[in-house]
Chains A and B, each alone.
Chain A
Amino acid sequence: MYCTEEPILKVNNMVKQFGTGCSNCFNLEEERLEKNYCPCCQTVYACQGLSLELYEGEILGIVGESGSGKSTFMRCLYFDQEVTKGSAYIRAYKKGQANIFEQNSQQKRYIRNQIMAMVYQNPYLGLRMNFSSIGNVAEKLIASGNREVSYMTSRASELLNKVKIPSYRIREAPQNFSGGMQQRVQIAKALSNNPPILLLDEVTTGLDLSVQANVLDLIKRIQRELKISMIIVSHDLAVIRMLADRTIVMLNGKIIEQGLTDQILEDPQHPYTQQLVHSLL
């Protein structure tokens, strides 16, 4: 069913390297790296030419061990880091005709505010810890030009309500909250502008199991209600199994396997994926 549809996000051949590169590693296709590392010039290729598509209303899972490049991919996609090479197109931005990596910083801010949203593993990256929770949610609305306090407060209360922050605490600063609550405030903030694409980077890592389940439930509920397309990155296949329709498996900066999540769990092809699936069982 996906093939007939125009993807909402399309990434082509994205490379992110740390280091200058040299004649040994210049052509990635020659595969002269040790894992993702060039032994001659010590350049690390965190993402070695990633291509993927995200379709409307789906949850795409990216699974891999730490160092596989999945978080770097997310950071590049959200402009927290600059890509070395590659392109990405978003259907909702300039009709999918403009490479978002080549936009100027003002346009990138627009995309970050209006079209994409990110929930970070570390809530300190996504929130202003000493501002009120309601202000944190309003910040995205302000950034997109809203100047109506009453609208912003009601929108923020509604969202904070949706993520189960008790209404008597919405004027409190997230620094007073538990880790699970902080993640829920981040999610509320991410939803404020109704973005078509939501990026979730290891959002449950480091939370207690019961809290994890809460946050995962919330994500699933939001996806059902709002039909947002999501990319969710996790090292934990259990999280991916619970949420993702489709899954990509990454190793050493490359995609080694992809397909419907059920398919990958039932019949993993790559030895690394097999190992992952076995450890889950």
Chain B
Amino acid sequence: MGYVAVKGGSSAIEESIKRLQYQRIKAKKKIDVEVIQGTLRGLIDKIMSESSLYARELAALAIKQAEGNPEEATFILRAYRSTLPRKYYSQVVDTEDMRIERRISAALKDIPGGQILGASYDYRHRLLDFELYEEKIEDLEKLLQEFEAEGWSNSEEEASGAKQKTSEHSYTKVPKVISFLRAEGLLPPVKIDDSEPDDITRKSIEFPTRRSARLQTLTRGEAGAVTALGYAAIRGYGMVHPTVGELRVGYLPIHIDYPLQEGNEEDAVYIGEIEVTEVESLIPQVIEKEKGRKEIEFTVGYGLCYGQNETKAIAMSILDSCLAKKDLLSPTAVHDEEFVLLHIDAVEASGFISHLKLPHYVTFQSELDSLRKTKKKEENHESI
């Protein structure tokens, strides 16, 4: 009988979901999760990073379910993440132990350990490649054989998750660019801070924040949002001028304490490796010394994301340093931790924007009532 504008909710929803399913399959094409996992590396990395869950296979499944819509796929994975109990915290990871795939420094040309360009879009022209239309599995196999003949490792194994054992890989320590600078006295010495980091998934973020809470919020931020704010910070709405000291992409081994004997380093259990992008940006800062003397020191902005997310990791390092700067005379929005941290989350931002689609009949009616009363009052007023 239609006496409420949106009525018959159950059947409407059912039809809507059917419609959605139809949209997904109407082209009569099917994509397998393993195909997604083996081909859509960029999308998987983005979604793992934003959903804060390192699981390539589940990310691929979410992408399939979401028809490739990253906003939706991240959402699905985050919701799934909510159902998982937190059983362990990993041991502290030292990123010097990274099995490096790629490593560059924009600050210094010659770095011990060398620059490793690795896989990057940076120097490939963005020309639409029409030959990919014709790509066949035989072509791939042939190409792969050539690569392997040159001594390339089997990338398939890596893509299907870190199944190999540690012993097969060499996590040789490659020293950090910033440790050279530190040794030279160009970076101020840092105090080792061994206090327990915050866990923003167990306790909601509180202001003023600690750095651990900021970094966790930034790393799960939506790539576009983090990039946009980082961009604003260096373009004119922030007070930072960074140089990428070092950008690394590679694999980190993850260990947990042996469950029955916590704190014993030797009995650690290896549970796998994760691919991450790490950025250490150098940001010059004027330090006041005695008798009005001024000196420039570098501070380090830090970025770390799951997967290969280089732009996001750099932007994160910029925002990290923006938020560390206190007491600016004229701070802009990118230095305001509430402004940055509360608005970059993909699920929160898209959720609240999309809630505007919900009916607001009651609230709108109440507003109308107020509006009419003021109108009536004003009319009366005028007639007097």
Contact partners of A41 in chain B: CB under 8 A: 290
Q: State A231–B187 Cα separation when bound (angstroms).
A: 49
Contact partners of A238 in chain B: CB under 8 A: none
Question: From B292, which residue of chain A is reached at the shortest CB distance?
Answer: A42
A39: interface (CB < 8 Å): yes
- The interface bits of chain A over 27-58 (1 if a CB of B lies within 8 angstroms of the residue's CB, else 0) are 00000000000011110000000000000000
Q: State A108–B292 Cα separation when bound (angstroms).
A: 36
B134: interface (CB < 8 Å): no
B291: interface (CB < 8 Å): yes
B288: interface (CB < 8 Å): yes
Contact partners of B288 in chain A: CB under 8 A: 42
Interface magnitude class on chain A: under 10
Contact partners of B290 in chain A: CB under 8 A: 39-42
Question: From A40, which residue of chain B is reached at the shortest CB distance?
Answer: B290
Main secondary structure of the interface of B (DSSP, over half): helix
Q: State A42–B288 Cα separation when bound (angstroms).
A: 9
Query: Shortest distance in angstroms between A42's beta carbon and chain B's nearest beta carbon?
Result: 6
Contact partners of A39 in chain B: CB under 8 A: 290-291
Q: State A18–B292 Cα separation when bound (angstroms).
A: 15
Query: Shortest distance in angstroms between A74's beta carbon and chain B's nearest beta carbon?
Result: 21
- The interface bits of chain B over 257-298 (1 if a CB of A lies within 8 angstroms of the residue's CB, else 0) are 000000000000000000000000000000010111000000
Question: From A22, which residue of chain B is reached at the shortest CB distance?
Answer: B290
Most chain B beta-carbon neighbours within 10 Å: one of A39, A41, A42: A42
Query: Shortest distance in angstroms between A21's beta carbon and chain B's nearest beta carbon?
Result: 14
Query: Shortest distance in angstroms between B381's beta carbon and chain A's nearest beta carbon?
Result: 14
Contact partners of B291 in chain A: CB under 8 A: 39
Question: From A19, which residue of chain B is reached at the shortest CB distance?
Answer: B288
Q: State A109–B291 Cα separation when bound (angstroms).
A: 39
Question: From B289, which residue of chain A is reached at the shortest CB distance?
Answer: A42
Question: From A37, which residue of chain B is reached at the shortest CB distance?
Answer: B292
Q: State A193–B292 Cα separation when bound (angstroms).
A: 46
Query: Shortest distance in angstroms between A5's beta carbon and chain B's nearest beta carbon?
Result: 43
Name the interface residues of B326-353: CB closer than 8 Å to any CB of A: none
Question: From A38, which residue of chain B is reached at the shortest CB distance?
Answer: B290
Q: State A40–B290 Cα separation when bound (angstroms).
A: 6
Contact partners of A42 in chain B: CB under 8 A: 288, 290, 292
Contact partners of A40 in chain B: CB under 8 A: 290
Question: From B291, which residue of chain A is reached at the shortest CB distance?
Answer: A39
Q: State A39–B292 Cα separation when bound (angstroms).
A: 8
Query: Shortest distance in angstroms between A232's beta carbon and chain B's nearest beta carbon?
Result: 28
Q: State A42–B289 Cα separation when bound (angstroms).
A: 8
Q: State A42–B294 Cα separation when bound (angstroms).
A: 12
Query: Shortest distance in angstroms between A22's beta carbon and chain B's nearest beta carbon?
Result: 10
Q: State A24–B212 Cα separation when bound (angstroms).
A: 37
Q: State A40–B291 Cα separation when bound (angstroms).
A: 7
Question: From B293, which residue of chain A is reached at the shortest CB distance?
Answer: A42
Query: Shortest distance in angstroms between B329's beta carbon and chain A's nearest beta carbon?
Result: 14
Question: From B288, which residue of chain A is reached at the shortest CB distance?
Answer: A42
Q: State A257–B288 Cα separation when bound (angstroms).
A: 34
Q: State A42–B290 Cα separation when bound (angstroms).
A: 6
Query: Shortest distance in angstroms between B377's beta carbon and chain A's nearest beta carbon?
Result: 15
Contact partners of B292 in chain A: CB under 8 A: 42
Q: State A41–B291 Cα separation when bound (angstroms).
A: 8
Q: State A39–B289 Cα separation when bound (angstroms).
A: 10
Query: Shortest distance in angstroms between A141's beta carbon and chain B's nearest beta carbon?
Result: 24
Query: Shortest distance in angstroms between B327's beta carbon and chain A's nearest beta carbon?
Result: 11
Query: Shortest distance in angstroms between B131's beta carbon and chain A's nearest beta carbon?
Result: 61
Q: State A40–B292 Cα separation when bound (angstroms).
A: 10
Question: From A39, which residue of chain B is reached at the shortest CB distance?
Answer: B291
Q: State A134–B120 Cα separation when bound (angstroms).
A: 63
Q: State A39–B290 Cα separation when bound (angstroms).
A: 7
Q: State A42–B291 Cα separation when bound (angstroms).
A: 7
Name the interface residues of B169-200: CB closer than 8 Å to any CB of A: none
Query: Shortest distance in angstroms between A81's beta carbon and chain B's nearest beta carbon?
Result: 14
Q: State A184–B292 Cα separation when bound (angstroms).
A: 41
Query: Shortest distance in angstroms between A267's beta carbon and chain B's nearest beta carbon?
Result: 38
- The interface bits of chain B over 117-131 (1 if a CB of A lies within 8 angstroms of the residue's CB, else 0) are 000000000000000
Q: State A39–B291 Cα separation when bound (angstroms).
A: 5
Q: State A41–B288 Cα separation when bound (angstroms).
A: 10
- The interface bits of chain A over 253-277 (1 if a CB of B lies within 8 angstroms of the residue's CB, else 0) are 0000000000000000000000000
Q: State A222–B292 Cα separation when bound (angstroms).
A: 46
Q: State A163–B290 Cα separation when bound (angstroms).
A: 49
- The interface bits of chain A over 111-139 (1 if a CB of B lies within 8 angstroms of the residue's CB, else 0) are 00000000000000000000000000000
Q: State A53–B224 Cα separation when bound (angstroms).
A: 60
Q: State A39–B293 Cα separation when bound (angstroms).
A: 11
Query: Shortest distance in angstroms between B75's beta carbon and chain A's nearest beta carbon?
Result: 39
Q: State A250–B383 Cα separation when bound (angstroms).
A: 61
- The interface bits of chain A over 198-217 (1 if a CB of B lies within 8 angstroms of the residue's CB, else 0) are 00000000000000000000
Question: From A41, which residue of chain B is reached at the shortest CB distance?
Answer: B290
Question: From A34, which residue of chain B is reached at the shortest CB distance?
Answer: B291
- The interface bits of chain B over 58-71 (1 if a CB of A lies within 8 angstroms of the residue's CB, else 0) are 00000000000000
Query: Shortest distance in angstroms between B103's beta carbon and chain A's nearest beta carbon?
Result: 40
- The interface bits of chain B over 194-211 (1 if a CB of A lies within 8 angstroms of the residue's CB, else 0) are 000000000000000000
Q: State A31–B288 Cα separation when bound (angstroms).
A: 23
Q: State A41–B292 Cα separation when bound (angstroms).
A: 10
Q: State A39–B156 Cα separation when bound (angstroms).
A: 64
Q: Could you show 7 A-B contacts with beta carbons less than 8 Å apart?
A: A39-B290, A39-B291, A40-B290, A41-B290, A42-B288, A42-B290, A42-B292
A-B pairs, 4 with minimum CB distance: A39-B291, A42-B288, A40-B290, A42-B290
